[in-house]
Amino acid sequence: MVMTAQGRLPRHTPAEDHPLPRTPREFFESLPPTLHLRAEIIDGNLVLSPSGSPQHARIARRLSRALIPVEDENDWESFSGDVDICIEGPRDIAVPDYCLVRMNAPLWGDREILSSGLVMAAEVVSPGSKKMDHTVKPGIYAACGIPIMLIIDPVASPPMITVLSDPEDGTYRTTTRTEMGKPVRIPAPVDFELDTSIFL
């Protein structure tokens, strides 16, 4: 389930002590660090979603482990659903389920990696995130120039892997869909053949 908010503080917080945020960005910055929801700003809206299931986290972790040779070869690093990405331009905030990042990628403040530092973003689809992962986020990631997006969809029938690449004018020009369990080529700059049977 995904909830959206336009900027309200909890009722127990006195307004005179903490002025109400005026924008989704200000609301995002006012959230406590211990919040157990994923908070993103997508198209100017604050989107709160619950933490992923164990299967969801397992898939992201297996992708991370599979790409360790790519990280080592290129001096990159990766994160599995635990860093905020500042989308340059609108300053929206996305939290990919996995991202491959250039070492020492530029930051926005001390909390967010700037999107220009990403090599690849991946999303693991859950029943409540189909539209976001298949329709909304590809446009966001392509618009800010992230070279590759990977969509791992274990809830499709049959389960599928989609590789999006060649971003231009807010869209990925190249799409490759592969049934989960078969190998799929992730193009340059990653340049890696992924055995997707690791997700089954």
Mean pLDDT by 10 residues, the chain (200 residues): 43 55 81 72 87 89 98 97 92 96 94 96 94 96 97 98 97 98 98 98
Q: Three-class SS of residue 63? A: helix
**Structure tokens given for 128:** 């409540």
CB 41 within 8 A of CB 92: yes
Amino acid at 192: F
Task: Give the pLDDT score at 146.
Answer: 98
pTM higher than 0.75: yes
Distance CA 169, CA 67 (A): 28
> Strand ranges (DSSP E) for the chain?
3-5, 37-42, 45-50, 76-79, 84-87, 92-94, 98-102, 107-108, 112-114, 118-124, 148-153, 160-168, 171-179, 183-186, 192-195
The pLDDT, as a whole number, for residue 28 is 77
CB 99 within 8 A of CB 85: yes
pLDDT score, position 4: 47
Contact 159, 199 (CB under 8 A): yes
CB 163 within 8 A of CB 68: no
Quick one: pLDDT at residue 14? 45
